[in-house]
Amino acid sequence: MNEPMVSVIMPVYNGEKYICQAVESVFSQNVSLELLVIDDYSADGTAAVLAPWCDREDFRYFRNEKNLGAAGSRNYGVKMARGKYIAFLDADDWWADGKLRAQLDALSGTGDVLCSTGRDLMSPDGTPVGRYIPVKERLTYRELLKHNSINCSSVLLLREVALEFPMEHDDSHEDYITWLKILRKYGHATGINKPYLKYRLSEGGKSRNKAKSARMTYQVYRYVGYGPIKSACFFMSYALHGIWKYR
């Protein structure tokens, strides 16, 4: 196939229950793309439910020989990608139609290297919970330090930038660390304040254990180079935003 404009990276671990909806939402986008599913050594029927797409030239399936975690799986997908842009989508989330086209147009207009969107929160069974998480149309590094308004499954960014800043520290919020590093260098990110992402509140996600998530968020600031006092101040702002977001 010709080189696609967008490479969609979808890490999955035991995702047979939800991944078909995620895949269908990718192939309903009206842009040139490829989908790379990185199976992180699943023990369920994930590979079997993906069989209907296996003969497509724009579908690529990789299975890790051992469990690498989300960060390692995404990084491997970025290395294997052929597109100019990278989009991340977790296997239990899905996109609304037109998401990638809107983001490509937005980045073309701003000249930024990264774009995120707003998101509707969904229950584990996929029904709306009636809560929308907005995103600002322009986001700075200083603003991102106060709270992470960039959800990984909403992101579109240049592949060269994804290669420059691979995701690290799976014991923390690895995506948040990456967004901070990118904005510290490039200054701004673009936001589209529309619910293009349907974000499933899975029971096993990192953010569902609030105490663990709090420790991981504090560790984010330490990993990007801040001392204990500044890290604590940034964490307090993050915590207040979190209370408002999920109230």
Q: What is the mean pLDDT of the chain?
A: 94
Q: In the structure, what pLDDT confidence band is assigned to residue 208 with cuts at 50, 70 and 90?
A: low
State the Cα–Cα distance between residues 27 and 237, nearest whole angstrom. Answer: 38
Higher pLDDT: 206 or 90? It is 90
> What are 172-199's pLDDT values in tens digits?
999 999 999 999 999 999 999 999 999 9
Which range is most confident: 105-109, 202-206, 241-245? 105-109
The answer to whether 34 touches 58, Cβ cutoff 8 Å, is yes
Q: Report pLDDT digits (tens) over 24-52.
A: 999 999 999 999 999 999 999 999 999 99
**Cα(195)–Cα(99) distance, rounded to whole angstroms?**
9
Report all structural domains of the chain as residue ranges with CATH numbers, in order of start.
6-204 (3.90.550.10)
pLDDT digits (tens, 9 = 90+) for 116-155: 999 999 999 999 999 999 999 999 999 999 889 999 999 9
**Model pLDDT, residue 2:** 84
